[in-house]
Amino acid sequence: MKVIVTGASGLLGRAVYKQLKAANIDVVGTAYSRAKNGLVKLDLANESELEAFIAEQKPNAIVHCAAERRPDVAEKDQEGTRNLNIQVPKRLGSLCKTNNITLIYISTDYVFDGTSPPYEVTDKPNPLNFYGETKLGGEEAIREVNSDAIILRVPILYGDVEYNGESAINILLDSVQNQEKVVDMDNVGKRYPTNVQDIARVIKDLLVKRVDLGEDLKGTFHFTNTECFTKYTICQLFGNLLNLPIDHLKRQDEIPASAAVSRPKDAHLSNKRLEAIGIDTKSVPFVGWWTEYLSK
């Protein structure tokens, strides 16, 4: 099996690339602004460049991790985000259909409004923010051109980062450690932080079933850790592990209506469809992982 991973310089893409390599799968990673460590520089928005690259590599599968994942940035650059999150997946979907390539598209729990969890793959999306709208738009664009594609929705990610800003969870370390800066910290939104190594394992298992074993897997799947936290309770954990007070973090038990970008209150995903096809959905324990990570 030969697999292309787009966005292989990012937090999830790196984990997928490493996981596939460790499984002795022939993997080619692409990146744009951070193309290093053997990754191929590729502008996904350049149609002819993308088409030529796929024709040259002749992969069995593409895992599409590249996206604008930051809701606030998406809101500010709507045209660029629409292109990366909707137009690029549509082109990839079409190219994969034409060339009989398995496509796994990474989507998000933010396609849901967070009012009636847990969400099954059959539940109707209703995104609250522009980022969620574009990721849903990417899903719909792929379904339109390639009904054989796999869409994997995942929640907020964490893991071994190059810098804390790569993850909306890891970056909370900065808030805890910067004792001089008073910050309002959300204690309302329920989050299910999921380690990128676990997601990478699930992606690898899906690829093996679909490509190597020839199982008829397609459509939408959800994968999530089942442990629930708020951003404030995560900061409490980090404070305990680092032996730091968090008095400078002001617990927000209500989110002001003026919040810049709306986020779902509880968009917990259900793992049922993955479990039904025999995929292992266990996750590394959140507290255990951070205890080890912060003791290094």
The token duo for 294 is: 């912060």
> Cα(202)–Cα(239) distance, rounded to whole angstroms?
31
Task: Give me the DSSP letters along 93-142.
Answer: HHHHHHTT-EEEEEEEGGGS-SSSPSBPTTSPP--SSHHHHHHHHHHHHH
Residues 6+ apart with CB under 8 A from 288: none
Find the distance separating the first CA and the last CA of the chain, reported in whole Å.
35
Written as six digits, the tokens of 66 are 């590249």
Q: In whole angstroms, give the CA distance from residue 233 to residue 238.
A: 9
Residue with tokens 């001089």, as numbered in its chain: 180
Nearest by Cα to 221 from 273, 176, 170, 164: 273
Quick check: is 105 catalytic? no
3-state secondary structure of 80: helix
Active-site position among 17, 110, 131, 192: 131
Structure tokens at 187: 């204690």
> Active-site positions?
131
